[in-house]
Amino acid sequence: MYVIGELINGMYNNIGKAVSLKDRAAIEACALAQVKAGADALDINCGPSSKDPISDTQWLIETVQSVTDKVICIDSSKPQVLESCLKITKGSAIINSTTADEDKLGTIVPLAKKYNARLIGLTINKKGIPQNKDQRLELAAQIVSYCADKEFPLENLYLDPIAMPINVAQGQQKEILESIREFKLISEPAPKTVIGLSNVSQGTLKRSLINRTFLVMALEAGLDAAILDPLDNELMDALITSNLILNKNIYCDQYLNAYRKK
C-alpha cells in the first residue's frame, strides 16, 4: 500500500512552531523519520494558523526536498497555494485535494493535468459530508466522470470516502469500508482509493489500536493508499502483515524488516 506520511502539518504544535520560526532542522528530521519508517510520500500542510500559506507551504516543500526525493503531497484546499507549490515541486506531486463540487473540479483538475500530478478527490460537496455509501458513490461518480471528460488519467485519481471519527459516526464505518470496495467498480481503469486514517480515531483514547484495526479492514476492502502516521510502529507492522496475508509481498521470517528495506 502507498503510505503518505501525515506528520508535516502545522496543526501539530511542533510543526506549527517550526513553520513560524523557520526551523529547517525540525522539518528535515520529521521528513527523514517518516521516510525511514516506510513513507512513500509526505503530506505537507502549513496549518490553519499560517498568515502566508503560499510562502509557508513553499518553504516546507523546499526544506523537505532538500533531504529526500520522496513524492510531495500538497495539502491545501486553496488553488493558489496548490499552483504556487506545484511550480516548485521536483518530480510529480499529489494534490490533496479537490471536492466533488463542479467549480472546485473546474479549477483543480486542470492544475493536476498541467503539472502531471496525482489527485485526491474527496467525496464531499458544499452540502456536506455524505451520510451513507450511496451518497459517497454518487459523489465519487461525479468526480470520476468529470476527470474522464477532461481526459485526466483515472489511474492518477485517488478517491477518498472521508473517514469519520468512530465516536461521532459509528454507524458510518461500515459504509466507508464498503465504499472503498465499490469505488473500484466505477470505471475502467479503476480509480485508486485513499483515506485520511487518523480521522477514524479522533477524540478517542485508543487511537493507535482503532487506526490499525480500521486500516487492516480497509486494506482487505482494496484500499490503495493512506495518509497516516508512519512512526506508529504497530500500525506499520499491521499494514505490512496485511500485505502479506493479501499476498502482495513475499513472506520471509524477517518480512517486517524486509518491507522496510525495500
Partner 1 sequence: MAIQILQEKWQGQVSLVTIGATKEEGGSRSSVIKIGGEKSLPALFKEGEIPHKPKVALEIWDIHPSEWPEALSKAYKDTLDDPFLWAKKCIKEYNAECICLRLQGAHPDFGDKSVEDEVSFIKEFLRKVNLPLIILGSGDDTKDNILLPACSEAAKGERCLIGSVTQDNYKDTVTSVIRNGHSLIAESPIDVNIAKQLNMLISDMGLSLERIVINPTIGALGYGLEYAYSIMERARLAALSSDKTVASPFVCFIGQEAWKAKEAKAKDTNQGVMWETITATALIQAGADLLVMRHPLAAEKVNKYIDKLFDTE
Considering only residues 37 to 56 of the shown chain, the ones binding partner 1 according to CB under 8 A are: none
Comparing CB distances to partner 1, the nearer of 12 and 255 is 255
Rounded to the nearest whole angstrom, what is the least distance from the CB of residue 227 to partner 1 in the complex?
Answer: 21
Q: Is 36 in the site for partner 1 (CB under 8 A)?
A: no
Q: DSSP 3-state helix, strand, coil percentages of the chain (rounded to 5)?
A: 50, 15, 35
> How far is 21 from 18, CA to CA, in rounded Å?
5
Contact of 228 with 3, CB cutoff 8 Å:
yes
φ/ψ region of 164 (left if φ > 0, alpha if ψ in -120 to 50, else beta) reads: beta
Rounded to the nearest whole angstrom, what is the least distance from the CB of residue 167 to partner 1 in the complex?
Answer: 38
Rounded to the nearest whole angstrom, what is the least distance from the CB of residue 255 to partner 1 in the complex?
Answer: 8
Rounded to the nearest whole angstrom, what is the least distance from the CB of residue 184 to partner 1 in the complex?
Answer: 19
> How far is 197 from 165, CA to CA, in rounded Å?
10
Rounded to the nearest whole angstrom, what is the least distance from the CB of residue 250 to partner 1 in the complex?
Answer: 5
**Torsion on CA atoms 216, 100, 56, 208, rounded to nearest 10:** -20
Comparing CB distances to partner 1, the nearer of 154 and 209 is 154
Comparing CB distances to partner 1, the nearer of 59 and 158 is 158
Contact range with partner 1 by CB under 8 A, out of 112-120, 160-168, 182-190, 252-260: 252-260
State the CB neighbour count (10 A cutoff) for residue 176: 26
- Cell 459516526 identifies what position? 169
Q: Is 252 in the site for partner 1 (CB under 8 A)?
A: yes
In the stretch 212-251, what mask flags binding to partner 1 with x, by CB under 8 A?
-------------------------------------xxx
Q: Is 131 in the site for partner 1 (CB under 8 A)?
A: no
SS3 94: strand
Among 154, 156, 90, which residue's Cα sits nearest to residue 119? 156
Comparing CB distances to partner 1, the nearer of 54 and 258 is 258
Rounded to the nearest whole angstrom, what is the least distance from the CB of residue 225 to partner 1 in the complex?
Answer: 15
Q: Is 254 in the site for partner 1 (CB under 8 A)?
A: yes
> How far is 196 from 163, CA to CA, in rounded Å?
6
Among 111, 68, 110, which residue's Cα sits nearest to residue 91? 68
Q: Is 188 in the site for partner 1 (CB under 8 A)?
A: no
Contact of 81 with 57, CB cutoff 8 Å:
yes
Interface residues toward partner 1, by CB under 8 A: 249-255, 257-258, 261-262
